[in-house]
Each structure stands twice: as structure tokens, then as C-alpha cells.
Amino acid sequence: MVTDKNLSVSLCGLTMKNPVVPASGTFGFGLELADAMDLDVLGGISLKGTTREARFGNPTPRIAECTAGMINSVGLQNPGIGVLVADKAPALRRIYGGVIIANISGYSVEEYAYNCAQADACPAIDLLEVNVSCPNVHGGGMAFGTDAQSAAAVTKAVKAVTHKPVFIKLSPNVTDIVSIARACEDAGADGITLVNTFLGMRIDIRKRKPVIANKMGGFSGPAVFPVALRMVWQVAHACAIPVMGCGGVRRAEDVVEMMMAGATAVQVGAENLRNPQACPEIVAALPALMDELGIDSLQDIIGIV
């Protein structure tokens, strides 16, 4: 793609050729799409969420379609941190030159720290994205990200064992997203990713039971975009650290909107499952949209609203 528009952004010292990033859980480990597109078109790739041990995930059915989105309860199916750092990330680095983001999950502060230390030591990984939407097994099952003190504890533990930039991916299922983001910033986070999925449910009225085997799951897709955008705006204006926006993004206009609200990079999630070419199509559409809006550099519009 040849254009006189500057699509590049700087994220914690990492230069991205554009701000578009497939969100974790919607793009595998990147390797699965290598034969279907030129991965180097993408500014970054957030890899499948990874835990310490391999996980098969939740029972099926795991997916429920909605009018303007979807509900998933995959349950962090993944091969474990050892496979990520020894196999998946190095294999992706051999064929992809952009920013590789490891998405790390855990069920205790100790597991988060262990996983992040392993990912930090992997030369193929550029940035760590810590998913604090997992249930705290030592704290009654409440997700780490729904409590400012718990989110800060994870952040502090992870930062103590890492050198690469650490972004904390927050849950939107809270009443005050700003207080949690600020707690993570105070604990040393280099950035914030938001939002993760909303909690949703569907019922099969003929079978008279929930569509998802786990009853509830993560709701994502175009329907959540206005709420995600609001949270991005709130956090970007309340914190001094950069934000990666995520939630309902499906077109170039959404990327620009997220950036105007304060996002430095923008992740595309559910739309990848509907259209695996979504991210390359968004990148390709950005220069014409920038021309229409009189934008020469995307870096210039970050947080202008």
C-alpha cells in the first residue's frame, strides 16, 4: 500500500506501522492466518490468551449469536505458557515483523507473575497484555479486574519480574473503570487495554435452557462499541499512560473514533470471526478516510476529543 498518509503510531517506544491489532482470542497465534493474508500489513497481533498449564476450555456449546454481536465462553483454551514461548511466538516472529503481544492470564497473582516472566524472557515477544478478567481462586472467585486492589496487586507482581511494556486488559463489568485503571497505573502499568467482553446470556426458548453450556459468556461485537468508546475516553483522559481501545470495532471509522477518544492503538475482535480479512481491509481503508477527514498523521488525532 503506497500512501502519503502517516498511519504509524508509537506505543511505549515500539513503532507500529499502523494502529490496527487483531484482539486476543480472535486471531489464534497469528500462524493460522498466515496463508490467508500478508500478516505484515498489521501493526501488531495480540496472541491467544495463555495460562501456565494447557487448558481444554469450557464445555460446548461455547458460542451464541446475537443481533449485533456474539457471546463466547471458550474458557481460555490454550497450549500453555511453555508452548507459547518455545514454539508459537518464535514461529510467528519468523514470518511477521510487527509488534507481537502476548496475552497472559492466570488464576492467582503468582501464576500471573510466572507466566509474564516467561513471556518477558522470550525474544519474539514485544509487549505483554495481562488479562485480569480471570477469577481469583484465592479471593472467592471474583475477577481480578473488578477490584482496584486486586488489579493493582497483579500489576505490581508482574512489573517486578518483567522489563518489557505491560498493558493491563480491564473488564468493563464494573461501575468505575477509571479507579481501576488508575490503580494499575499507580502500580506501574505501562498501558491499559480496554475493554474486554461484557457479561451476556442467551436462552433457547424452544429447549428452555441457556444456549451457552456455561450459561453466561463474554458479549462482544458492534453493539458494545459506544460503551467501550466511553470507557476508552474516560481512562485516556484520567491516566497518563497509553490506551489500546477494543470493543465492537469493525471498520476504519471506528478506529479513528477510538483514537480521537484517546486510544493509541485499536484492537479488532469479534469482527475477525465474522470476516477473517477485517483487519487488512480496515488498514487499506484508513488512508482514504484520513484524506476525507483532512488527517495527515494518525498520531496527531490521539485524544483530540
Catalytic residue among 12, 66, 116, 134: 134
Give me the pLDDT at residue 137, please: 57
- The answer on pLDDT for 3 being more than 90 is no
Give me the pLDDT at residue 282, please: 98
- The answer on pLDDT for 200 being more than 60 is yes
Provide long-range contacts, Cβ within 8 A and 24+ apart, for 233-238. 233/261, 233/262, 233/305, 234/177, 234/178, 235/177, 235/178, 235/181, 235/192, 235/194, 235/262, 236/261, 236/262, 236/263, 236/303, 237/262, 237/303, 238/178, 238/181, 238/182
The least confident of 35-44, 133-142, 232-241 is: 133-142
Give me the pLDDT at residue 156, please: 98
- The answer on pLDDT for 83 being more than 80 is yes
Give me the pLDDT at residue 77, please: 93
Tell me the average pLDDT across 110-121.
Answer: 98
| Separation in Å, CA 26 to CA 46, 267, 275 | 9, 10, 11
Tell me the average pLDDT across 167-186.
Answer: 97
Q: What are the grid coordinates assigned to 74, written together?
A: 471458550
Q: How confident is the model at residue 2 (pLDDT cuts 50, 70, 90)?
A: low
- The answer on pLDDT for 34 being more than 80 is yes
Give the SS3 label for residue 243: strand
For the stretch 14-27, pLDDT in tens is 999 999 999 999 99
Give me the pLDDT at residue 135, please: 63
Q: Are 113 and 157 in contact (CB under 8 A)?
A: yes
For the stretch 286-295, pLDDT in tens is 999 999 999 9
Q: How far is 82 from 68, CA to CA, in rounded Å?
A: 37
- The answer on pLDDT for 203 being more than 90 is yes
Tell me the average pLDDT across 32-41.
Answer: 96
Other C-beta atoms within 10 Å of 131: how many? 28
Q: What are the grid coordinates assigned to 1, written together?
A: 500500500
The DSSP result for 174-222, as a single string, is SS-HHHHHHHHHHTT-SEEEE--PEEE--EETTTTEESSTTS-EEEESG
- In terms of Cα–Cα distance, which of 247, 243, 248, 240 is closest to 261? 243
Q: Name beta bridge partners: 135.
A: 143
Give me the pLDDT at residue 265, please: 98
Tell me the average pLDDT across 259-270.
Answer: 98
Give me the pLDDT at residue 139, please: 63
For the stretch 120-164, pLDDT in tens is 999 999 999 999 987 665 665 568 999 999 999 999 999 999 999
Q: How far is 279 from 27, CA to CA, in rounded Å?
A: 10
| Separation in Å, CA 245 to CA 84, 96, 199, 235, 262 | 24, 22, 18, 10, 8
Tell me the average pLDDT across 241-265.
Answer: 98
What single-letter amino acid sits at 8?
S
Compute the mean pLDDT over every residue in the chain, rounded to the nearest whole number: 95
Q: Is 134 a catalytic residue?
A: yes
Pairing relationship of beta strands 191-194 and 166-169 according to DSSP bridges:
parallel
Domains of the chain: 9-60+81-201+221-301 (3.20.20.70)
Give me the pLDDT at residue 143, please: 84
